[in-house]
Amino acid sequence: KRESRGNTPSIALIGGVCVLAIVAASFAFAWNQSLQQTEGRFIYCLDDPYIHLAISKNLAHHGIWGVTPFAPSSASSSPFWTILLAGAILVGGNSVYFPLIFGMAFSTTATLVAYFQFLRRGVVPFHAGVGALILFAIGPLFMLPFTGMEHPLQVVLDLVFGFWLLDVLGR
């Protein structure tokens, strides 16, 4: 495949690293601001992450889909997210940080998917990076992980589906 408008693999990789560095710096800044607002203790702004974690813990340890280990109850609005958290709990133990970690990972993934898809469509690396970071900012993918919800995962799935649809329609 012919490289267009100066999109060499090394320039594209450098651009990806720059995008990744800005994303990481944004998360570090948001983390710092979050801890300053809560006297150094990390908490989610919603109760939903704690509900997901309770169901995930009971699923991982007791095989029960519920907020208690004694009876099933369907209080999760996102079964896939809950199963993902249950897998993390099974492997890494109980941690309130799993939703945050997954949220940051999926927000980063969404930003990089956008960057590399823009490059694939012939956008120069600088503009692809700016476009991906605009998505990160207005998404707002820089803050969604701190809600502890599944929304960054949904954004990744939407982007993958959307770019796939563009490819299919482009044929």
Mean pLDDT, the chain, as a whole number?
93
Residue 6 binned pLDDT confidence (cut-offs 50, 70, 90): low
Residues 55-94 as b or e (16 or more Cβ within 10 Å = b): bbbbbbeeebbbbeeeeeeeebebeebbbbbbebbeeeee
Given this model, what pLDDT does residue 8 score?
A: 80
Q: What separation in angstroms does the CA of 13 have from each of 5, 19, 119, 135, 137?
A: 15, 10, 11, 19, 21
Residue 142 confidence (pLDDT) above 80: yes
pTM (2 d.p.): 0.90
**Tell me, what's the pLDDT at 47?**
92
Predicted local distance difference test score (pLDDT) of residue 76: 81
pLDDT (tens digit per residue) in 85-141:
999 999 999 999 999 999 999 999 999 999 999 999 999 999 999 999 999 999 899
pLDDT class for 1, splitting at 50, 70, 90? very low
Q: pLDDT category, 2, cuts 50, 70, 90?
A: very low
